[in-house]
Structure 1
Amino acid sequence: MNSKTEKKDCVFSAIPNEMKPVIALINRAAHGCTDLFNKHLARVNLTVKGFLILCAAYKNTSFSQLDIAKGLLIDRSTMVSLVDALEQRGLVERVRHVEDRRQYRVVLTLEGERLFKEAREIAYQTEDEYLAVLSDKQKSDLKASLLLVLNAQAEKESQLSQTAPLLLATQTTAE
């Protein structure tokens, strides 16, 4: 068999399961699910990041563009480009933030809300497709476990961000 036409096994599959830490499994699953979701969202000309921005803005007008970027782990310049594209399509509007005039809130338009609802159905379909090997209980347990981990991590990050200036101030005064 020619080496160019020979089918190769997936490298990840070839690694013994006992050598795959959970963190590597989560990473691999996230990539696979994201790829599948992006493929399905293409029919409404949206990406996962665009969907998540619409999701964050759905029925919530208090989040600033910066809040959404931080919460979704999107760097500022990418966030600006994403919101620009959504705004050009008439899906969102930037509105000056009431409490901080330097910031903008991201607000869904009626068309943005309609598209979000359509994309949310695509998300549920993608989830069903990707997790088809799991029972309903396993899906529920997986979601609950991930939320538990993510909420605990968010709490740690929140506590760390509250203590970080104090740590820096302590280090500065001790020098």
Structure 2
Amino acid sequence: MTEQFTVHREPAGPTGSSPEGVCAPDYQFGRVLSPVGTYDGDVVPDSICAMLVVEGSGVVHQGNVTTGFSTGRLLVLDGALPMTVEVTRPTAHYAWRFRSSMLTTPEMWAAVGSSVTAAPSVWGPARVLANALIGADPAVSHSADALRASELVLASILSTAVSVRRA
């Protein structure tokens, strides 16, 4: 997962983000600790990204769209577009990227550029699943079933969100 974000401008103190995760053929996910700084995301055609912010804040720039994020927010982003993430407060977040999945439906594309707020009781299962899969045997974490479980948990967060704010 280290290829997910590269340091564009080195922040003061510890440099760069500290990601750990799973890179499977059709999806990638992980947990990332990012100090204050600016990071460029990879461009992957026909993909959709999600970022669940556990703590911290900043903004994501994608084309003409700027989406703010803070603790307890889930962002849905177009993975095929260049993105720059500006971290304004040290951030702990989970990141997912899916290709050829249920999250690439027209309904999900309509959520791209959105920042969704949900209670920890709603997004907690995504954290639990991601943490379990990060430490799992690759036969499990890289499986189609793990992909589907991750998609379903994120779709559930979006469908039960407290509020949606378009950037």
Q: TM-score range by the shorter chain?
A: under 0.3
TM-score, normalised with respect to structure 1: 0.23
Higher-Rg member (1/2): 1
More helix by share: 1
More strand by share: 2
TM-score, normalised with respect to structure 2: 0.23
